[in-house]
Structure 1
Amino acid sequence: MLTGALLILAPLFMGFALPLKNRRLMTTIHYLVEALVYFILALLGLGLGQMEGLVNQLGTMAGQVSALVVVLFVANMAGLWLLHRHWPMVPEPRDVSSGGVGYLRLFMAALKPLLAVLVGLLAGYYLLPVIPQAEQLATWSLMLLLFLIGLQLRNAGLSLRKLLMNTQGLGIAVVLALSSLLAGALLIPVLGLPWNDVLALASGFGWYSLSGIVIGDALGPAWGGVAFLNDVFREIIALAIIPLVIGSRPAMAIGYGGATAMDFTLPVIRSNGGLSCVPVAIASGFLLSFLSPVLMGIFLALG
């Protein structure tokens, strides 16, 4: 397991160590990352579709996903509410002249990962024979993805020092991480896994393409599917609640999105919370994007 943890973490830090200044190359990397994400998710679905007794396990998986989503939501929002109480953050008034963002478009985009997994699942269940190298292919694809994401993070014009000095973003990231681990601890008797595996499940922070494959490699395709669904539902729920709460409790709106606050949910945060929320969201999402593979790698290595 320790070797597996190093394989998860090494490409991310290798990519982050390499500076790039070629904009055309960075654009190519952006599209390659997007393609790899959907390819990895399709492989995750393929593994689920070829799992023995899939139909019989669907009810159990639904219960496990529901438990994770609900307990994590309650713990995260409670922790972020306490942060807001002791360290309030006041957003700018909403910029109505900007026209907002296309919420329908964002919700449809949030469903694309589910569609990719569903396509892989149906292909594995009905069409494709078992591919012995599928797990290795998924692992190598994930390593390449993490390397490219490391490059993106390093070359996004973000200073790690400035991000760490954004105390509000750092506070939100720490509270989200700690409350997620607390939720994981509460779920240990419910999920029936060793404590370290449950804490790994709780450490996805919305990064579904990472958690699905990493957990799937370590615990099997069923748990990989549970990890994926838990984190993709975080993204979907975040899109729904950000406009409702960011005006009065920005930390709760930014924090619940987890790692997605620096990319996918950022337009909604910007549109509803104003420019003052953007650096906080980027700092929080960036730090959680680094914490997620680190924590998952550490917890799985303890098994």
Structure 2
Amino acid sequence: MNIEIRNLMKKYKDNTALNNITFTLSEPKIYGLLGRNGAGKTTFMEILSGQILADSGQITIDGENPFDNQKLTESICLIKEGNNFKRDLKVKHILKIYSFFYPTWDQVLADKLIKIYSLNRHLKIKTLSKGMESALGIVVGLASKAPITIFDEPYIGLDAAARKKFYEILLEEYEAEKRTIIFSTHLIDEVSLLFEEVLILQEGELILKEEAEVLRDNTCAVTGSVDEVESFIRDKKVFEKKQLAGMMTAYVYGNMAEADAHGLNAEGVPIQELMIYLTEEKKTCGSMSKEK
């Protein structure tokens, strides 16, 4: 499904949640939607899933607005970090409701996941631990098989082993049947290898949109003498520079092989570190935010 975002704006009183963002998600991929708290990620996901309206601009999916559009909302599943389900319903009721709502629902997968996460179908949502409620959200998100599946911090309360199992199953299901998966998380190091494309929001603006492989291959930390590093980075995008005792380390958008050829020590920059550098202040990265 082709997702087009054009000049999207959303404000809450004096706070601008989304500030004139424009981009396209045109392929089934696993997208990492990253940014600090308050960057606008949840607002964007709620607009995309048809839960709220933008103030201006437009968001379309295959040319249609998702708001109040049942045909489209049957193709979108948003699982947030909490309050996804009515508290007085039982687990079995939640599964039944969602199986009716999503034409693509996979009951075999749902049953498999219920067993993996040891969920009791007869318990009410309000009696579940935070981890068990998160596990139920994961079950629904994966079993929905929705062409656009959105996970917004979906695993609050799950231990490391349970999160790892989620990542494994998500990748297995995605490889078996491609869909657009948008993943927003602060545990970036845990899941960054899943990402095929990365988007970073900062204060409501899109400051980076790039294929994850390109970021991995073309962002690096280079270290050498101040003169050597300054010469190497002269025509490059620099995220951060640190200097000590005549030596400098610079975090740049550049190729490690090129840095090696200049006699500099070069190491890859994890996506989590890149996100931190880009969002420490209001920085512009126009050369890195581009349409595909």
TM-score range, shorter chain: under 0.3
Over alpha carbons, which structure has the higher Rg? 2
Query: TM-score when scaled to structure 1?
Result: 0.24
Between Structure 1 and Structure 2, the one with more strand by share is 2
Query: TM-score when scaled to structure 2?
Result: 0.25
Between Structure 1 and Structure 2, the one with more helix by share is 1
Ranked by relative contact order (alpha carbons within 8 Å, sequence separation 6 or more), the top structure is: 1
